[in-house]
Structure 1
Amino acid sequence: MIKRFIVFVVGMNVLAIGIILNTKSLLGVGSINTLPYALANILSVSLGTMTTMVYLVFIIIQLILLKRFDLQVIIQLPFSFIFGYLIDFYDLFFSYEPTAFYMQIVILIIAIVLTALGAFLMVLGDIVLNPADGLVHTIGKVTNKDFGFVKNIADLVFIVLTVVICLVTKGYILGIGIGTVVSAIFIGRFVALYQNIYNHLQESKI
């Protein structure tokens, strides 16, 4: 249990760094982060604060869908506040924003690699689902739909919501770009790569 907890905490930190580097690339954030990123800019609050607020909404939606207080959902509350703090901490720590396109690409690649690694480590630690994945899991459970299918629909909904909110409030789109597309394509593949490497290492111990 202690080992799993350590792996999970390391994963949280790596994921937070990956998310921040994604924003620093200025090429567009990952689909799941488009909504908090846009709202943070529109409302002039920190990304960590808005991420926590969006996560709290996800938790409320889960409880409404389940029609009961589920412990696995409730423990997402402390995670939301801690993860929001980590995002703001690393946002202050990584202040560099590249202007050259090739450096933006480099930062984006590093962000994708770290985001996938963080997500993999958190799944491996298996302590608590982040509220975004928790919402997808709950919707899938209630509707009897596959997690991957619901995840794809959720990503699309987040992007559409972001576009609508940005156009209504700002007249232009925030946080969506080539980086959003590239992240959508490659983060899952890197997670699968890490899983294969982990499985290979586990088999080599036998």
Structure 2
Amino acid sequence: MQKYTDSTELQNNSSLTKRWIIYLVGIYILTLGISLAIRAGIGISPQSSLTRTMTVIFPQLSQGTFSFLLELLMLLGAYLVLPKDFKLKYFAGLIPALALSIFLDLNLLITSFIKIDLYYAKVMLLAVADAALAFGLYLMIQANLVLIPVDLFVNTLFKRTKMKWGNIKTIFDCSLLVVSACIGLIFLGEIKFIREGTIINAILVGQYIKLYTYLFKRAKDRKADEDPTLIKG
């Protein structure tokens, strides 16, 4: 019995390690997508537009730094919205948040050579960027580990308001856009990083995730058909 227990624990630890690897790989691909979208130069996601705008106002700090500061703010927000439901384990979300910040700065450095002038090329680069961003998100969802504070905050609002999750996410993203636009107008005299690409990003990312889900399911079903010992999920 002891041997069986040890074996089970080893398998569980191996599974958890694998999920963390998938999660971190997902974060890296996600930040690569964000970096490519920034290089496309025709608009980025609401969260990225806010942190990117802040780097223009305070160039001595990196976008990864502002991204992590935003995550800290969202963690505090989750506590303020539902303090009684707040758990210490939510602080674990700062681990992937820190990884995201580091990977974001790294990928912005790696992609700094990209300079595109032709508009159609910018649109194509944005489409590739959104594909990478969505695949990163898909891997993070599949890993099913801790929520980063931004997602935790949205979920906390969902619990508190009882509104549809999708509606809350839309309101949250629009709020970030408004804040980003206001900061840009106040400190820079113009709205930065919010353009047609922001809308394209909102549309494509969801569609890409649907595509990845479909392809993954097909591959899983095909593998189950080829191996009768596997049970279809």
TM-score (norm 2): 0.84
Moved over 4 A (4+): none
Which of these residues, 199, 210, 228, is aligned with residue 181 of structure 1? 199
> What is residue 166 of structure 2 aligned with on the other side?
148
> What is residue 229 of structure 2 aligned with on the other side?
none
**Residues 24 and 99 in structure 2, CA contact (< 8 A), matched pair in contact too:** no
Deviation of the 1:39 alpha carbon: 1.3
> What is residue 178 of structure 2 aligned with on the other side?
160
Which of these residues, 102, 106, 117, is aligned with residue 89 of structure 1? 106
Is 2:79 aligned against 1:66?
no
> What is residue 72 of structure 2 aligned with on the other side?
56
**Residues 31 and 184 in structure 1, CA contact (< 8 A), matched pair in contact too:** no
Which of these residues, 31, 40, 44, is aligned with residue 25 of structure 1? 40
Is 2:145 aligned against 1:127?
yes
Q: Which has the larger radius of gyration?
A: 2
Matched residues, number: 206
Letter in 2 for 1:180: T
> What is residue 10 of structure 2 aligned with on the other side?
none
Letter in 1 for 2:171: I
Per the alignment, in what secondary structure is the counterpart of residue 146 of structure 2?
coil
User: Greater RCO between the two (CA within 8 Å, min separation 6)?
Assistant: 1
> What is residue 128 of structure 2 aligned with on the other side?
110
Per the alignment, in what secondary structure is the counterpart of residue 128 of structure 1?
coil
Letter in 2 for 1:91: L
Structure 2: tracts of 5 or more residues without a match: 1-15, 225-231
**Residues 163 and 173 in structure 1, CA contact (< 8 A), matched pair in contact too:** yes
Per the alignment, in what secondary structure is the counterpart of residue 75 of structure 1?
helix
Structural RMSD (CA): 1.4
Q: For residues 29-61 of structure 1, give each alpha carbon's deviation from its aligned partner in whole angstroms, at most 9, with x where no partner exists.
A: 112322111112212121111111111101110
Per the alignment, in what secondary structure is the counterpart of residue 29 of structure 1?
coil
> What is residue 191 of structure 1 aligned with on the other side?
209
Deviation of the 1:72 alpha carbon: 4.3
